[in-house]
Amino acid sequence: MREINESYPYALHSPFLYPATKAEAERRVLAANAPDFETISIRPRLVWGPGDQTILPVVKQMVAKGRFLWMDGGRAQTSTAHIANLVHGVELALTKGSGGQAYFVTDDEVTTFREFLTALLKT
């Protein structure tokens, strides 16, 4: 999905349980918003930064074992969210956001997986 905002509707059907259950959980959290119980949902994309224990170690291990392969030559586009930007986004949502709303948090740029992972591996 590209160039969408928080008003983009949920998918009506998904063949995969993870996005389906994630969407249902978000719907329930946002529906629980009330004057005495404020709820929000944060939607970060591909979180990275210091102390990462998910993306970088796995990619490094795959490269070291000769098991890494670029899908589509690494041309697929993605957005990312550096941990500092995610923290800032959460702070903004908590202080300036509205209850019952969802907020995307990204680095505000689109990159290819090749560009992103190549730069990440250089760190």
Residue 8 catalytic?
no
- Residue 106 inside a domain? The answer is yes
Q: What is the 3-state secondary structure (H, E, C) of 55-86?
A: HHHHHHHHHHCCCCCCHHHHCCEEECEEHHHH
Catalytic residue chosen out of the listed positions 8, 10, 18, 103? 18
Residue 89 sits at the vertex; the CA angle it makes with 103 and 55, to the nearest 5 degrees, is 95
- Residue 74 inside a domain? The answer is yes
Residue 2 has pLDDT above 80, yes or no: no
- Residue 8 inside a domain? The answer is no
Domain total of the chain: 1
Q: Which domain holds residue 92?
A: 37-122
- Residue 94 inside a domain? The answer is yes
Q: What is residue 76's three-state secondary structure?
A: coil
pLDDT in tens, 59-118: 999 999 999 999 999 999 999 999 999 999 999 999 999 999 999 999 989 999 999 999
